[in-house]
A and B are shown apart, each in its own frame.
Chain A
């Protein structure tokens, strides 16, 4: 399966009568099967807008987004969205929140138990989300997106406002899941360090109106990315090639 984003551009009506604000310039890229893309850009550059367009939540835009090819089961591609805020239904327990997005067949496959155990959430399956810490809510939201076994995983700064150990733990979970099942991942962040940890390819956006200014692969093997010197090397290389980049993000 492949994701093609062709000259997507988005304008909002502005407050002045008849005025238009461009949120997103003409954005064009292709995500190949199993690719992990990090989208990096200053806040307000239209990253969330782009994700909503790709996930099909916003259909008022110019250009074209296509998911080409069927998934492994020959069905319509499934999209798992991890929003910036967890968006769990407070009136349903953790388990019920997960069951909501699954088919009866998936519920009986035991995937919920499996994922709750691997995220150390099994003790909280009967808990209502408002009683959980924000970190745990984010974990549940992650599990929810994993549980539908998405072909495209869309993530909008899912690990902000978490302490470092928790964020590292969840990034590890995400990488394991991705390496295991190889969905296409679009991961939005504004931290270069986080993008370096995760990305197979880096898409850098300019500030509003967001346009794609840089599209580079991250070739450092995942096993070596935890080393500080590798990160420094990477940053140095980037800033040599694109001197203005580091001021922007």
Chain B
């Protein structure tokens, strides 16, 4: 874990970042570059009014939903493509296409075709993430140990047992990798989705603050949101990674 020395280094680095910010704000002396304390004040005020929680709550709901959707779809498709050469050959060009469609295009198309509804928002985010999950999981599925699959076959293990206890543990490192990169990608796209077609959420708020040139609020929301994502990373994803890897020597 963290040693005393590394804590001190982190603290020093954090304090120097704050000081630089403070210095910059002091030098600029503008409403468009607020100092840290001002941002903190706005942040606390927003928490006090319950506004921040409301919008972050909506954003997190969308993040969770589209994360779950894209992981489920991506894992399923990824395993199928990794295990079946003909399927892989057939769908490879589709995958390349979807990997390269800009997020903005999917979002606009989803809103135009499905209307400005929640489902369209979540679907747009998922469609952006699914190809990434597929590519990672496909790599893992290609590298599945044949020895173990043969063992499973000779002992007549059920399909569910094979998936749950032989395939998924081998995919674990790939799952963790794609979860972490997935979270990082998804929350950014969710903000864009909210900006373009939702009336709540962090993205919507940022758009509002942009129109008002309310930089302090933009920074306050950013900090709150980044902290939340970091908490997910350290609180859930990293312990999960340690757990799935505990058998490794």
- Chain A residues proximal to chain B, CB less than 8 Å: 52, 55-57, 78-81, 83, 85, 87, 89-92, 100-101, 128, 130-131, 144, 148, 154
Least distance between B180 CB and chain A CB atoms (Å):
20
Q: How many A-B residue pairs have C-beta atoms within 8 angstroms? Tell me.
A: 49
* A128 close to B147 (CB less than 8 A): no
* A57 close to B154 (CB less than 8 A): yes
**Highest count of chain A CB atoms <10 Å: which of B155, B156, B172:** B155
Q: Which of chain A's residues have a CB closer than 8 A to the CB of B166? A: 89
By beta carbon, the residue of chain B nearest A144 is B155
* B150 close to A57 (CB less than 8 A): yes
Out of A80, A85, A144, name the residue touching B147 (CB < 8 Å).
Answer: A85
Out of A80, A90, A148, name the residue touching B247 (CB < 8 Å).
Answer: A90
12 contacts between A and B (CB under 8 A): A81-B151, A87-B147, A87-B151, A89-B148, A89-B169, A90-B248, A91-B247, A100-B161, A100-B165, A128-B247, A130-B249, A154-B154
Give the 10 A-B residue pairs with the shortest CB-CB distance, closest first.
A81-B154, A91-B247, A101-B155, A87-B151, A91-B169, A128-B247, A55-B154, A87-B147, A57-B150, A130-B249
SS of A interface (majority):
loop
B153 at the interface (CB under 8 A from A): yes
A83 and B147 CA atoms in complex are apart in Å by 9
A91 and B171 CA atoms in complex are apart in Å by 12
A89 and B169 CA atoms in complex are apart in Å by 9
By beta carbon, the residue of chain B nearest A96 is B165
Please report which residues of chain B, range 216-249, place their CB below 8 angstroms from some CB of chain A when the two chains form the complex: 244, 247-249
A91 and B169 CA atoms in complex are apart in Å by 7
